[in-house]
Chains A and B, each alone.
Chain A
Amino acid sequence: MAAQDSDSDEDLVSYGTGLEPLEEGERPKKPIPLQDQTVRDEKGRYKRFHGAFSGGFSAGYFNTVGSKEGWTPSSFVSSRQNRADRSVLGPEDFMDEEDLSEFGIAPKAIVTTDDFASKTKDRIREKARQLAAATAPIPGATLLDDLITPAKLSVGFELLRKMGWKEGQGIGPRVKRRPRRQKPDPGVKVYGCALPPGGSEGSEDEDDDYLPENVTFAPKDVTPVDFTPKDNVHGLAYKGLDPRQALFGTSGEHFNLFGEGPEGASNLLGDIGVNKGRKLGISGQAFGVGALEEEDDDIYATETLSKYDTVLKDEEPGDGLYGWTAPKQYKSQKESEKDLRYVGKILDGFSLASKPLSSKKIYPPPELPRDYRPVHYFRPVVAASSENSHLLQVLSESAGKPMHDPGTHSRHQLNASKRGELLGETPIKGSATSVLEFLSQKDKERIKEMKQATDLKAAQVKARSLAQHASGSRAQPLPADVGHCSWHVALSGGTATTRASSFKPFAKDPEKQKRYEEFLVNMKRGRKDALEQCLDPSMTEWERGRERDEFSRAALLYVSSHSTLSSRFTHAKEEDDSDQVEVPRDQENDVSDKQSAVKMKMFGTLTRDTFEWHPDKLLCKRFNVPDPYPDSTLVGLPRVKRDKYSVFNFLTLQETASLPPAQGSSEKVPQPRAPDKSRKPSRWDTSKQEKKEDSISEFLSLARSKVGPPKQESSPSVKKEEEHVTESLSDQMVNKEVDSQPEGEGSRPSMDLFKAIFASSSDEKSSSSEDEQGDSEDDQAGVREADFKSSQETDLVETSSGAHDSKLPPQDPAPSFPIQKMQIDQREEFGPRLPPVFCPNARQKLETPQKEKHKKNKEKHKTKKEHRRRKEKKKKHRKHKHKGKQKNKKSEKSSSSESTDSSDSQSDDEGTADLSPQELLRRLKRLPLRRQ
């Protein structure tokens, strides 16, 4: 649609780019005619091209140096006043500005000149200079330039020199010069034409006979390979007329004109001294002797046989005598000092390594056996995970191995500290504090209470449940025994059990704690029957088994966690306020209520949140508004400090005001902290805020009840809930749904638990069942009875079928904060997931649910909900009828489904058929215990 978004009235298709719209007052530009398209220089003068081939352009006036007025000399300037600054005119004074520009003949850009760059030889330049020197009226005039070298050398040259390198030498290890000139074997005839004079061999002739055995020479300087591309039309390797050959007519006695350094210069000097008088002209063997030549004795080169190689062989690398600095007295040098020779002179501050570098040793791969087949197959290994450690133990037991042999249990069973001990590592000495000391006082109390309740109740409840199920499952004690054995092994393997004694897991029960300590002592001594000894003989078999389990677990847990944690962590140096965060005091929440209000188009009080907001002082000033809070230093929304990791920072609670402050002993609602004294007290009358909220909710419920019949269609969520109920009844989810219901009344387990249970069902379903549960609390006892009955029956179905058991996680006596609300929030809000609720005491919740506690909580929950319920009475009333019907339906349905399901579990059913609802409820509560 973007392509054809031009005006609707013109359906023209336009190509190309439109011209820019003209600014106001702008005149359209005319195109420049061809004759006016001229080339001008930067001063606006015409540039006439001066020929197709030259490509140049005329300068001056019609190729003269003058102007239109003719050539005018610079005007006379009296030297009377400005005598001092009269300067010598350079060539630049006579040049045009274009010549000094970037592309002129004398660019003014700053470049490094070759003369001062370094002493690297530019061969062409060298050649030209030598040529100039030779042809100069005063030959050798440029020799002075050679002698007087610029002082500045490049760093590389400096370094090389410091290391003993000299000009003209090659770089590399010094080589021993072998005699390369064999005396021509008298018996060998040499055929073929004579070789041309070589590079630089002539000068060695006199040294030929002097070849000491142990003198080394610097390698020959190597000119780098020239990679200049061939850009001419000459033949390959054509070099043109060699001027030194042509001009000087050098004899066969070849000297190195281009030899580097002073040597070459002196050579040249000497040579030129020899060739003095021979100025110009082509001379050489082919040309004979010119008339102007004075010396004519050396026309024909005297060939010496020593100039030629008589044997075909490889060119030797070190044939030059350059850099030969050996003294006359030769010391016999050892082979090991070759490095020194290579290095030459050692720089200051460096010394030669005494040891040669050890070369890396390469080990050959192992030889494969001849019958090796490169195929890997997996043995069915029993992984030593925590699940089948029992199995492993049983296996090892049956194998007859000693139980406490450290070799029997795999390394996976070792924890970090044990591994460290095996490796001979000294345990890190951390602060000897328990992990529990890091917990806040509040949390400690909470844990204490949890533990107390657990210890009080656990034994009885567990006893009952075990007594109930003992008949059904004969194998019950066996896993416990195996578990005990495994604990025993694990404990005896480690020696850190002593530390565990500092932790008193059973402090609430001194008797038990005593037994536990006794058990630890026995364990330390390595006695196998440690547990059996320390247990109270008066206890029942089941109680013993349970305590065994507890002890071993406690011992193991606090070996690992306590010792490792305390050593890894240290106390903070300074007390920081990190457990508190600033959160806005008032938050816009209640989205669900507001949404329903929006759906009902009941804007106004329901959808409005009013907050205290502090504008910046400067902002008030800029807006010409008096500061509404002149004494306040606050900007924005007032903030309060809350516990950082409190659940209530992440939950948006519906009515904090309606929650009674004393929620229960097991959980504490972090109330907003008392306001800071520094702040203005008037701004902190939160009661008003709460009242307002209260009134809002009141209004909402009123509105809901007022709406009446239209409410049914305008609030589909309610309808949806009911639908979900019927739906969930109809399908197989019944068991689980009903199972969770009694839990929802009083104490609710954590969210994670719900997620685990209802992983297959959607959130809405579970929440709807919760909602319904909340409603059904008000139902008549009959309905509830039916409900419980059905739930109980379905429970029994589950208990009989062992497969279901594994799916059910332990159900905890979780605190009774309004899960229902939280679930709604989860459904509504996006973003990072909430942290698991009530982490600190999650472990403590493992044990058992408590009945009395549960009841208490339930009552409290009821009182909490009371006023809300009262407000919603009208609505509920109608709803209850509906719900009641549904309940009945549900119970029928579930019972019918139960009757089909429970056919295989007759034995259990018969015993429980005529139990009271309370009893059923109680059993229901302790149901998950069977997992242990």
Chain B
Amino acid sequence: MAFPEPKPRGPELPQKRLKTLDCGQGAVRAVRFNVDGNYCLTCGSDKTLKLWNPLRGTLLRTYSGHGYEVLDAAGSFDNSSLCSGGGDKAVVLWDVASGQVVRKFRGHAGKVNTVQFNEEATVILSGESEAKAGGPEVPPLPPKSDLPFLPAPPGSIDSSIRCWDCRSRRPEPVQTLDEARDGVSSVKVSDHEVLAGSVDGRVRRYDLRKGQLFSDYVGSPITCTCFSRDGQCTLVSSLDSTLRLLDKDTGELLGEYTGHKNREYKLDCCLSERDTHVVSCSEDGKVFFWDLVEGALALALPVGPGVVQSLAYHPTEPCLLTAMGGSVQCWREEAYEAEDGPG
């Protein structure tokens, strides 16, 4: 009965298309997993936010109440509430079960590019894109077009990250982090840190515990930042078609990942579920996987003809969601078999 100890399998990359969700909400601006990866949120350009079961491909609920397209969303740790931000410059806190708007936070001067709950879902952090100073409103995009993401023209006012309190009924933010000189493209939150990437080419990490602000200069406009799952590194993607892995504490460059195309749009990047690979969207319709340590391209997963706008990686399993145009694709590893059959 001496079975050999099963060799730990190498990390498998999600490359089997399991499901394609036709979201029916215009262009999908962002796709996000919930906290445990069982559900996902899609942000549509038709002002709706939808909650799906991505594995089954079923629509669970539609949240409508935004005045313009929804650009980002996030779920709380207890799956009880959602937050989303959109082109209507508002941050909305939703009740998951009822689908009602709990709070609507107004105060941003520009489109809300990114929203994030803190760990206990007591604070929503939202980053706005560049706010034109008195300029004309950006004409509405056609429903299925991609969202170009360009640095603000000179003359735009600084944009900010706002921390909204979900507990009290205060209409104004708890704190405004207005150090960014240009639009804030990405905000991530750990238990005591706020990581923000800005179009001004800097990654700022606000450490609440230390009371310090670390600003790392990358140079090119930053499209996405994220923490590694071990919390030691930050992954930064920028418009020079480069992803950089920076040491969180020192800001040193640990790795650089190139090969994809990211010149124009705000594309997402992330790390795989066990920090083995770096994953990024690309404007040539692929999703690129690099080995984290070696920096070598592991896989270029073709998704479709358009721009892969957004992606989300399952927190524990090799499962990837990509958004292209108006649909969302769900990818699993090759060996994956649906447990309960399709449906």
Contact = CB atoms under 8 A, between A and B. Distances in A.
Contacts of B324: 5
B35 interface: no
B208 A2 contact: no
Interface string A864-901: 00000000000000000000000000000000000000
A903 to B, nearest CB: 48
A5 to B, nearest CB: 3
A371 to B, nearest CB: 57
Nearest to A635: B175
B251 A5 contact: no
B123 interface: yes
Contact of B217 (A24, A607, A626, A636): A607
A635 to B, nearest CB: 6
B256 A601 contact: yes
Contact of B251 (A607, A612, A627, A831): A607
Given A2-B27, A5-B144, A612-B211, A622 B154 contact: no
A811 B42 CA distance: 64
Interface stretch (B80-88, B114-122, B288-296, B312-320): B114-122
B338 interface: no
A594 B219 contact: yes
Interface string B141-173: 010111000000011000000010101000000
Interface in A618-664: 618-620, 622-629, 635-637
B175 A636 contact: yes
Contact of B210 (A4, A24, A623, A628): A628
Nearest to A830: B154
Contacts of B165: 618, 622
A444 interface: no
Interface in B187-216: 191-192, 202, 206-216
Interface in B210-256: 210-219, 244, 246-247, 250-253, 256
A8 interface: yes
A588 B200 CA distance: 11
B211 A618 contact: no
Contact of B59 (A24, A588, A622): A24
Nearest to B144: A2
Interface string B7-31: 0000000000000101010010000
Given A2-B144, A623-B118, A616 B174 contact: yes
Contacts, number: 157
Given A612-B212, A615-B175, A594 B192 contact: no
A636 B123 contact: no
A205 B131 CA distance: 86
Given A2-B306, A5-B324, A594-B219, A626 B252 contact: no
B253 A595 contact: no
A591 B217 contact: yes
A3 B247 CA distance: 42
Contacts of B120: 622-624
A602 B252 CA distance: 7
A231 to B, nearest CB: 48
Contacts of A588: 179, 181, 202, 215, 217
B192 A610 contact: no
A703 to B, nearest CB: 13
A628 B208 contact: yes
A88 interface: no
B192 A609 contact: no
B296 to A, nearest CB: 17
B274 to A, nearest CB: 25
Given A591-B217, A594-B219, A613-B206, A21 B24 contact: yes
B147 to A, nearest CB: 11
Q: Summarize B's interface: helix, strand, loop or mixed.
A: loop
Contacts of A612: 211-213
A831 B178 contact: no
B259 interface: no
A714 to B, nearest CB: 14
Given A5-B305, A7-B327, A604 B252 contact: yes
B175 A623 contact: no
Contact of A23 (B59, B208, B209, B326): B59
Contacts of A624: 119-120, 191
A603 interface: yes
A601 B253 contact: yes
A616 B253 CA distance: 31
Contact of B304 (A5, A594, A604, A608): A5
A629 B215 CA distance: 20
B98 interface: no
A94 B290 CA distance: 84
A622 B174 contact: yes
B202 to A, nearest CB: 7
B210 to A, nearest CB: 6
A1 B306 contact: yes
A609 B214 contact: yes
A876 B195 CA distance: 40
A71 interface: no
A611 interface: yes
Contacts of B183: none
Contact of A615 (B58, B181, B211, B252): B211
Given A594-B217, A618-B165, A623 B305 contact: no
Nearest to A584: B179
Contacts of A635: 175
A6 interface: yes
B251 A623 contact: no
Contacts of B307: 1
Given A612-B212, A615-B208, A623 B192 contact: yes
Chain A CB within 10 Å, residue with most, of B58, B174, B211, B252 = B211
Nearest to B145: A2
Given A2-B142, A603-B246, A625 B212 contact: no
B118 A2 contact: no
A5 B154 contact: no
Contact of A5 (B60, B174, B327): B327
B44 interface: no
A480 B209 CA distance: 73
A636 B154 CA distance: 25
B306 A5 contact: yes
Contacts of B163: 616, 619
Contacts of B327: 5-7
A187 interface: no
B208 A620 contact: yes
Chain B CB within 10 Å, residue with most, of A595, A603, A614, A636 = A603
A689 to B, nearest CB: 12
A697 to B, nearest CB: 15
Contacts of B251: 603-605, 607-608
A620 B325 CA distance: 40
A629 B211 contact: yes
A388 B167 CA distance: 75
Contacts of A611: 212-215
Contacts of A4: 305
A831 B158 CA distance: 12
A123 to B, nearest CB: 54
A41 interface: no
A7 B326 CA distance: 10
A466 B146 CA distance: 70
B59 A608 contact: no
Contact of A598 (B20, B118, B213, B218): B218
Given A598-B218, A619-B174, 15 more contacts: A5-B327, A6-B325, A588-B215, A598-B217, A603-B253, A604-B251, A615-B206, A616-B175, A623-B119, A623-B120, A625-B209, A627-B211, A628-B209, A636-B179, A832-B155
Interface of A: 1-8, 18, 20-21, 23-24, 588, 591, 594-595, 597-598, 601-605, 607-616, 618-620, 622-629, 635-637, 830-832
9 contacts: A2-B306, A5-B304, A594-B217, A595-B217, A603-B246, A604-B251, A616-B175, A635-B175, A830-B154
Lowest 3 A-B CB distances belong to which pairs? Answer: A628-B211, A5-B325, A830-B154
